[in-house]
Structure 1
Amino acid sequence: MLWFFTGAGVFDVSGCLIHQSNTRLFRNKKPAMKFPCTKCGLCCSHVDRSNQTKWLNRGDGACRYLNMDTNLCEIYENRPEICRIDSAYKYFSQKISLANYHKANAEVCNTLQSEHGLPLSKRIIILEKDYSLN
């Protein structure tokens, strides 16, 4: 791992502040885990299945911004917050842990992938150990 030493402290490449105590370095906090999206586009192809995304339905169940030729979002940089799993977590953070929030989203993802015959290699697996501070 790379470390950066500055007048303000010691930082790793992700910008996480590191403190030096005696000769041992330790992390102040672990960076938040990001949802491991496989970019299969199935959630965008089925916006009609969620009350939170139904308003994006163009009439065939797919998002009005999904380009069916490229399987990419035409407004990706400006997409609605509900389409940003990690950003939308703030609305649920008082009710559910980040790990369980990611697990719930992964369950929906994996169900859609199974329904559409995507290979098991595309499935999302959320491990609790990835969310611990150790």
Structure 2
Amino acid sequence: MEKSSGGEIESVVVKKPSGMLSRVGLQTYELSEIAASGADAEQIVLARYYQFPLKLAYAITIHKSQGMSIPQLICDIDRIFAKGQLYVALSRATSLAGLGVIYTRSEPLLRYLQRSASADEAVVKFYQENEFYKISDQKI
């Protein structure tokens, strides 16, 4: 953080995954309306707020993460509640080295995973009823 001589924070220094440092300054945003009177118009500021335009990414839902590839992922698996949710959560990580798991329940992890990490019956049936081939094993 960089502060003014009066002690107010003027900018925040952010370290990107590449190691590069970026300075993000305080931005002013206004909510206003236009008041017209005859041929004259005046902009009236209704509200003004100040913030650092940073996108917080410390927490997103598993549902929201679908389709993302996340190089550095820490996944809290304490409250998995839907079929396929654990797979979706963990498969967002692009590498095992970039994956961290938070588990704080008193129940042994293996028992919790066996109980909460289940596949939908329709998915199980699909895989049981179909035959799959590895492309790398096929002669082309």
Higher helix content, 1 or 2: 1
What range describes the TM-score normalised by the shorter chain of this pair?
Answer: under 0.3
> What TM-score results when the alignment is normalised by the length of structure 1?
0.25
Instruction: Compare relative contact order (CA 8 Å, sep 6+) and give the higher one, 1 or 2.
Output: 1
Higher strand content, 1 or 2: 2
